Structure formats: C-alpha cells, structure tokens
Amino acid sequence: MPATKRISFDEGISRKDLNTIRQRFQRLHRERLRRIRDELRPSQQEFIDLLPLLFHINHPMLPGFVSSDTPIGIPDYSPSQQALDVAKKLSRSFAYKKRAQRLYHIHGVYLMGSTGTIGQSSSSDFDLWLCHDPALSDSQREHLQKKIILIEKSAAELELELHIFLINPVRFRQGKKSKLSRESSGSTQHSLLLEEFYRSAVLLAGRYPLWWLVPPDHEEVYQEYADSLLFHRFVKARDVIDLGGLDNVPAHEFFGAALWQLYKGIDSPYKSILKIFLMEAYSRDYPSPRWLAQQAKEAIYGGEKDIDKLDAYILLYQRVEEYLKQSHDKDRLELARRCLYFKVGEHLSHTRQHDNWRIQAMLDLTRQWGWGQTQLQMMDTRSEWKIDRVIRERNALVGVLTRSYRLLTDFARKYAQTSHIDPQELNLLGRKLYTALDHRPGKIDHINPGISRNFSEPQLSLHFRPTRDDSLAWMLYRGKLDEEALIDQRPIKISTNLMEIVVWSHVNQVWGGDSLIALYPGETELTHNELLSLHNSIGQLFPHRMPASAGMQALAKPASATLMAMFINIGTDPLEHRVNSSPASGTIRSALPPPAPILPFITRWYCKPAGASC
C-alpha cells in the first residue's frame, strides 16, 4: 500500500489538501461507527441507524414524535437504506420523501465518549451531542427537549443507555458557567470537554467540525485561521460547525475538570481514575499542555490510517502511562492498568488469540505489561473478590483520590490569583472527600465502591475478647472460628461498640442474607437471637445497604441528622434483679413475664439533608 501523503500548509492553503484532510477524518469516523455497531445487538444497531432520521423528520409512528412543529432537519443528510428499513418496520405506512427545506434546525449529530473505542463494552452508555441552530426560541428548544426524552426512553427499552445533550454552538464557545453538582462538571471547562469531543466524537449526520481543517501547528491562532478559511471561501459556512479551538485554556477549567472527576471518582473510582491521571498530566504541562486531540490530529495530517493508533482510549492510557513512568510511580501505574482492563471488560485469562480487535489489543497490552496467567485470573474474578482483597484495593483507590486532591489544591493555590477558581467548590469537594474517605472512630466506612459485586461471607464469627492492650472489644472474623482457632487469625473488623460491627457488616454486605454467624459473647449476656434481631433491625433502617452519598447542596449546609435510631439494653436484661428477687422484697415473681431478648427501640425522624455519613 502506497504511503499516505503528509499534509502541510506551510506553503499556503490548497482546496485539494483541505478536501483530503476532510476525507481522512470522515473515513476515520466511518470506521469508528462500524466498530460501534459491531458491539451492539441487532435491535440496538437498528436504533443507532435510525437516530439521525428521528431528528430529520417528524413522523407520528416513529420514536420521539411530539408534534409536527418540533424543530427538525439536518443539512446534507440522506437517510441510509438501513434507516429506511427500520422506519418501515416500525410503521408500514412510512414513506420517506426527500423535500427541499428552507431551514435546518439540527446542525449536527455526534456520538462521543468511549463509544467506538477499546473502552466500549456491552454496558457502555452513549452520549450524543445534538448541535442545534442558535436561533431556536425557548419554545422550540422545549419541544426538542421533549422529543429527546422520548427517544431516550425508546433506547432504554432496547437496553441502550442513551444521554442526549442539546448544544448551542454559540453558547458553548462562550463557555457558560454552571455550579458543581451530580449533573454538572462545576466551573466552566468547555475547552476540556471540547478536547474530549474532538478526539472521541463520531459524526452521525450533519456538519463536520471546522477544527478538522485547522492545522495542528496553528492551534494557538485557531480562531484567526478558522475565520480566514471562511472569509476566503475555502470552506462554506453551511458545511461546517464551529465549536471553537483549544487555545488559551484558563486555569479554572483544569480545576473544574479535575474537581468533577474527583467528585465522580469517590463513588465510581474505576470510571474516573484514568481521567484524573490525565488531568494531572495536563496540569503538569500547564499552561501549554500537549492535547490528545491535537496529537491525533497530527497523526491524521501525517497520513496515519491505523484506527487502533488513533483510538481515543488507547491514546488516553498511553499519555497516562508516560506521565506515571516519568513520575516513577509504579503503584499508580499498575492501578491505571487495572482501570483500563476493567473498563474494557473482557476476560482474557482463557484467551490466547481472537478476531475481536478489542480483545486482541488488550492481549497485546497485557503482554507488554508483563501480566501472567495468575494476574489475569485475579482480574477476571474481581466480582468474587472477598473482603481482604477488596480492602487492599479500596485503600489504593483512596490513596489515589487523596493525592489527587492535594495536587488539585496545590494547582488552585498556584493559579488562584490569576484565574477565577472558586475556593467554595474546593471546600465542598474537601467535605465530600472527608465524609467518604476519612476514617475516624464510630464512622462506618464504605469499603466497596464498585470493586466487587458480592463479597458476603458464608460464615462469620463474632467474639467479645481482649485486645493486645488487654481492653475488651468485639471482633468479627471470617469463617466459623472458636476461641482455640483464633491463633494467628486477624479479625476483619474490631470495635468496642457492638452496633458499629453490626451496621458495618450490613451496609458493606459482609453479613448477607444467607450468612451464618457464630456468637462468642464472652462476659456479656448477648444471645444469638438478640444479635439476629439487631441485624434485622439494621436491615429495616438501611434496606438499600449503604445510604446514598451526600450531594453538594447538603454539603454546603451545616451537618444535621436525617435518621436516628436508639438501641436500648443490648446484651443486658434490666429486669433481671427483679426476676431473681424474693417475695419479701415486694416483688411478685408470677407477675413478671419470662426473660426474653430485648429488641431495639427505634426512633426515626427526618431533617434537612446532611453531609455526615451514617
């Protein structure tokens, strides 16, 4: 195969070269779309094929119909035969008629994120950017949003998690600010979001990004170069969409991006760690980071055709690997590799060679990492990891998040005077990290943030016995262990408070519904029935195991209780002295009921949300 020509604009702009670059990007996007479809079931493939048509026309028998007045129309779009066949399957009366439209309300439809990359798996969700005409009225946007909701519901019926985002190109270029929340990434960071879009987006229909045609070495003067292309009519404005360049990224965007990834990483660390490391690598090179999108563009301009070398997720991992190797951080590098392996989601312990490109690519990577059969088997049995392995992994994840928070605060301190970094957002993140990760007496730690699917123990033993300093404490062990069997055995939980042990074992799913527990109460009067009663009561208090983490609005307020429970006379019978007393003392034995396990007295009341964990 002849070498692909390297495109350079050092000697001026050529319409022929611009067209060549556009074709290279379009070819790459077609290949990514093919890979997306290959990972889907036939019904899901059909839905992806149909998506652009749903935003090109309003038809009452197709998903997403709101009214005939809903904004529609994609420029330069002709539905594929596959899309027409799917529409015909949904509505026998459907007949597509190509008509000239005066206005096109939808300028572009793009999938972005891990779709079409090695990171796409059967459980991956789909993020779709719907870029619309900036001139749409509020009423038109409302209609379009209703259409989006209906289309997302139709996708969900096919077990396709689709999230559609309405993008106004003009407002996006301006980088409108939003507050940190579960749905928002905090301080404005449109350039970093745009960088991810440029390196991962797949054009489904509509206009192609003008960014394609701005050479990598002209990124610092993006707008000037883009305006020149339009002014001299090298490019028609109706053919392109301009979301802006990657030049002049303010410090608060790095802050906001890292803040958001840390926020998400507390609850779902494996999904965020690679991006957290990427933010660290970018911030190290600030104010002139080496963008992954720019790196991919350079390769395309240089004639690179290998889609694997342009894979957005592989590029991300390679940059993280380079950064961690330069930092001589072997532990975090191994964690980054585990994150990539889990993200890909393929089990390689019994695979040697495969036609699937994702599996083969991961086989090649794991060989480079030096992972043997034992390591692969451990990775593939992650859903079955038990508590010892989970705690070690959780500690590694906590260490990464804590260190990244320190790096973030250092970055904020360095650039706070020259940027618009909001110290309140950093303070809120610190509170969330504190409530989620800080260890202190009486606090129930969440030890399984998405690591293992189920590590409930079939048998447990609860002992009340002396500690090393001869004080007494409750100790929980794996397995059925009597006093003689405790030599050289380490408990999985120690506490002087019985309720802390019971709550911890329940919310972390160590004590499951099928678990058997042996009780060795020592000098206490706790009975087995009373222990089971306590566990059952905790199950009623926390039916969903670990309570939901506090949101940013709750963390911004003073701590207050959302639920209270009172457990009285655990392991004691307060009437024992009366039961055993003689008639002469004035107590009649027959008037008292026989002794029974004292059940907890539970009181609930709800206040405003709190930042404190259970």
Q: Where are the domains of the chain?
A: 15-245, 459-591
What pLDDT shows up at residue 406? 86
What pLDDT shows up at residue 546? 77
- 384 and 452 Cβ atoms separated by less than 8 Å: yes
What pLDDT shows up at residue 445? 84
What pLDDT shows up at residue 49? 96
How far CA 411 is from CA of 253, 308, 423, 429, 541, in Å, comes to: 12, 34, 12, 15, 42
pLDDT averaged over the chain?
Answer: 85
For 139-199, give the DSSP string.
Answer: HHHHHHHHHHHHHHHHHHHTT--EEEEEE-HHHHHHT----BSSS-BSS--HHHHHHHHHH
Q: How many residues does the chain have?
A: 614
How far CA 16 is from CA of 12, 213, 230, 442, 546, in Å, comes to: 12, 12, 16, 70, 60
Beta-strand pair 162-167/126-132: parallel
Reading the block at residue 113, the tokens are 């994120």
- 541 and 502 Cβ atoms separated by less than 8 Å: no
Residue 327: CB atoms within 10 A of its CB come to 14
* Partners of 109 in beta bridges: 130, 205
Reading the block at residue 207, the tokens are 């206009």
What pLDDT shows up at residue 103? 84
How many whole angstroms separate alpha carbon 63 and alpha carbon 54? 7
How far CA 342 is from CA of 120, 245, 274, 338, 529, in Å, comes to: 11, 33, 11, 6, 42
Residue 297 C-alpha from the chain's centroid: 27
For 294-317, give the DSSP string.
Answer: HHHHHHHHTT---GGGG-HHHHHH
Residues (pLDDT < 70) of the chain are: 1-3, 8-11, 100-101, 176-189, 416-422, 426, 576-614
What pLDDT shows up at residue 297? 96
